[in-house]
Structure 1
Amino acid sequence: MNGRSLARRYYQELVTPLLLRRWPDLPHAAGRLGSGSDVLGLDDAMSRDHDWGLRLTLLVDEARVAEVDAHLAKELPETFLGLPTRFAFSGQEEPAHHVEVASPARFVSGRLGFDPRESVSVQGWLSVTGQAVLEVVAGPVFHDGDGEITRIRRALEWYPDDVWRYVVATDWIRLTEEMPLMSRAGDLGDDLGSRVIAARLVDVAMHLAFTLSRRWMPYPKWRGVMLGRLPGMAGVHEHLAAVLRAGEWRERQTCLARALDLLLARQAAAGLPAPGPATEGFWDRPYLVAREQIGAELVAGIADPEVRALPQGRGSVEQMSENVAVLTRSPERRALVSDPSITDEG
């Protein structure tokens, strides 16, 4: 049984009766939300060695949170379907039940740093990672009595249009800046350096693939798997994998250029500016570079003055940093995207 199916049975067969026995008309929502590979439907036998098991998110009114949590802590039996209802997460010593009881606002703010049902600022949108959003929108919902999860998820369907353009432009700007460096390093005999830059560019292209597909990107462990499942991205996946397999820089840049051509075609299909081809020669050198005009036309089409004023090429928090300590904490993410000292030049 996978984690999603387990969570559904846990809710329907055990948690629901415990709740309704005490509060017959308790308004609530429930699902397998938050962290964990099972939220994405990607857990397997190996996933069970830590932080896997009887897990559930239960959303109730703020005034009921403490009472409901205490009730479950007292009334849950030791096991369900042969699995412990109480166990310690990684880094913890004391076992506890893992029905996360929270209000809708507290749950979503804890992941995102804001409540998307309210007005969200440009900085707010730029401060979220795809993984943070997936912890809210990806998992199965078993009950949504008052529609709160539905409203939250509707608000998180995608970026506002101009923020989307800005994020897409940032990926192209990064590709323009670094693509010829990959080839130059290889041409100089620094194959290791060329491979390191290639890996960075592949990750940028993967982010671009998710963004053009209007899908939130997961954290790196599941990025390749979920890229392969994006509709119409099989060719992009194939060419990006070939970049990393390539034995020398010429093959590397050719495979990357093929992936970028496919991404630019997807961009045109999405209704965004897509002046082709995706790459061109870099001065008089035998290197390819992503066309600067692509990012420039995306930026030129931004109408929102607040988005237009953003530093070009800085982007969202997950385009600015790969630091897990930053990306997994909403206050640090918000602080980074709001830092005025980070400019085009800095």
Structure 2
Amino acid sequence: MDERGAELARGFYEQVVGPILDRAAPRLRYAAARLGSGSDVLGLDDAMSRDHDWGCRLTLLVDDPGAVAEVDRLLERELPGRYRGHPVRFPVTWDAADTHNVEVATVAGFARSRLGVDPVAGLTVPGWLCLTGQGVLEVTAGPVFADRTETLGPVREALRWYPPDVGLYVLAAWWRRVSRLMPMVGRTADRGDDLGSRMLAAKLTADLMALAFALSGRWAPYGKWRGTVFRGLPVADDLAGPFERALAASGGREREAALAAAAERLLDEQRALGLPAPAAAVAPFWDRPYPGIDDAVWEGLRAAVRDPEVACLPLGAGSVEQWVDNVDVLTDPARRAALQAAYLGRWGEDG
């Protein structure tokens, strides 16, 4: 049976790294975990995952910033050449040097390197909105093998999901985003643009899947693993059929019906959560024969927001993942953090 990365990391800590620290730095307050990048952080690595950045990797987080360099030097001196047949020092895509891959950092420094903002100091509303699901999961999803810090546990707990009013705002923005494109699926098909209709249906399916994550209070990973993790959501079984029909349908009407069914199921979930919800998600688009999303779906969520800082945000924005699709931006924490300025500037007009 293939060894999983998280299992390798646990053994590497318990049998190698932990004993070194207990002997050489017995008073050090640290947490040992497998966090950061890599499919093994989500528990989804397989044989193919081993072709790069896989192996004896560990995240070692300390409370004392002054201990970071000292602990790194200690491990460079004391770590063996191999563990369970795997090299302990090996190059990775961000560092071509043959050095150990125990990432030593403070909790705040590590979290900032993944999020672009510092959750130890506390997140502002723009800070929350510039998070990505993948970035949060790199801090919260992986296993923790030991924790003697004062900060890692509270940070992971705080990042479990958005604060309530920010969550309402993000939900409303997903619904409004869907509403902007849904009537066009049938319209493009009726004009003979079947390819365009299919492309719109695929985009709407992706947005409705993101809405399913949001209603489930779960952070969505990046595209490679999104469908896999989606299957574990409570609403996944009910949505799988409509999603598959929307993507496979041969005509615009079938696509519309499938997307409408998914939207109604998601509104049912919203209602079950005790959130504002009208009688139906789908309503006619003007006097045209195409379904759209009733404005009352997102207007009710927006009206439920009580935090004035959130209430004044433009609905046409939402979280960074709702208005930015450039991978180089979404995967760069510093660039994402810089986008807080857009929220602070209030975007001018609404949207």
Q: Aligned residue for 1:134?
A: 137
Q: What do residues 6-42 of structure 1 show as CA deviations (whole Å, max 9, x unaligned)?
A: 1100100011111122112221101000111100011
**SS in structure 1 of the partner of residue 182 of structure 2:** helix
Among 33, 36, 44, the alignment partner of 2:35 is 33
* Partner AA of 1:188 in structure 2: R
Q: Aligned residue for 2:70?
A: 67
Q: Which moved more, 1:113-122 or 1:333-342?
A: 333-342
Calculate the TM-score normalised by the size of structure 1. 0.96
1:314–1:343 Cα contact (<8 Å) kept: no
1:182 matches 2:198: no
1:117–1:155 Cα contact (<8 Å) kept: no
1:252 matches 2:232: no
Among 37, 48, 51, the alignment partner of 1:49 is 51
Q: Aligned residue for 1:230?
A: 233
Q: Aligned residue for 1:291?
A: 294
Mapped partners of 1:157, 1:286: distance in 2 = 42
Q: Which moved more, 1:333-342 or 1:222-231?
A: 333-342
1:207 matches 2:242: no
Mapped partners of 1:108, 1:16: distance in 2 = 22
Q: Which moved more, 1:5-14 or 1:286-295?
A: 286-295
Structure 2 segments unaligned to the other structure (5+ residues):
none
Q: Aligned residue for 1:8?
A: 10
Q: How much has 1:234 moved relative to structure 2?
A: 1.3
1:36–1:52 Cα contact (<8 Å) kept: yes
Mapped partners of 2:203, 2:295: distance in 1 = 18
**SS in structure 1 of the partner of residue 276 of structure 2:** coil
Among 310, 313, 328, the alignment partner of 1:310 is 313
Q: How much has 1:158 moved relative to structure 2?
A: 1.4
Mapped partners of 1:5, 1:335: distance in 2 = 36
Q: How much has 1:147 moved relative to structure 2?
A: 4.2
Q: How does 1:144-159 map to 2 (within 5 A)?
A: 144-159=147-162
Mapped partners of 2:180, 2:349: distance in 1 = 13
* Partner AA of 1:332 in structure 2: R
Mapped partners of 2:246, 2:77: distance in 1 = 55
Mapped partners of 1:254, 1:92: distance in 2 = 50
Mapped partners of 2:245, 2:77: distance in 1 = 55
Among 235, 241, 245, the alignment partner of 1:242 is 245
1:111–1:133 Cα contact (<8 Å) kept: yes
**SS in structure 1 of the partner of residue 189 of structure 2:** helix
Q: What do residues 121-156 of structure 1 show as CA deviations (whole Å, max 9, x unaligned)?
A: 110110100111100110000001134321111111
Among 223, 247, 269, the alignment partner of 1:220 is 223
Mapped partners of 1:238, 1:50: distance in 2 = 35
Mapped partners of 2:123, 2:340: distance in 1 = 14
1:276 matches 2:290: no
Q: How much has 1:117 moved relative to structure 2?
A: 3.2
**SS in structure 2 of the partner of residue 275 of structure 1:** coil
Q: How much has 1:243 moved relative to structure 2?
A: 1.2
Q: Aligned residue for 2:81?
A: 78
1:123–1:337 Cα contact (<8 Å) kept: yes
1:274–1:294 Cα contact (<8 Å) kept: yes
Q: What is the percentage of aligned positions where both structures have the same residue?
A: 50
Q: How much has 1:331 moved relative to structure 2?
A: 2.4
2:302–2:311 Cα contact (<8 Å) kept: yes
Mapped partners of 1:342, 1:255: distance in 2 = 34
Q: How much has 1:91 moved relative to structure 2?
A: 5.5
2:8–2:56 Cα contact (<8 Å) kept: yes
Mapped partners of 1:146, 1:337: distance in 2 = 29
Q: Which moved more, 1:227-236 or 1:89-98?
A: 89-98
1:169–1:313 Cα contact (<8 Å) kept: no
**SS in structure 2 of the partner of residue 313 of structure 1:** coil
Q: How much has 1:114 moved relative to structure 2?
A: 2.4
Mapped partners of 1:337, 1:195: distance in 2 = 34
Q: How much has 1:257 moved relative to structure 2?
A: 0.8
Q: Which moved more, 1:145-154 or 1:42-51?
A: 145-154
**SS in structure 1 of the partner of residue 207 of structure 2:** helix
Q: Which moved more, 1:328-337 or 1:272-281?
A: 328-337
Q: Aligned residue for 2:337?
A: 334
Q: Aligned residue for 1:261?
A: 264
Structure 1 segments unaligned to the other structure (5+ residues):
none
Q: What do residues 82-110 of structure 1 show as CA deviations (whole Å, max 9, x unaligned)?
A: 00111111264322211000011111111
Mapped partners of 2:349, 2:67: distance in 1 = 48
Mapped partners of 2:240, 2:283: distance in 1 = 22
Calculate the TM-score normalised by the size of structure 2. 0.95
2:316–2:350 Cα contact (<8 Å) kept: no
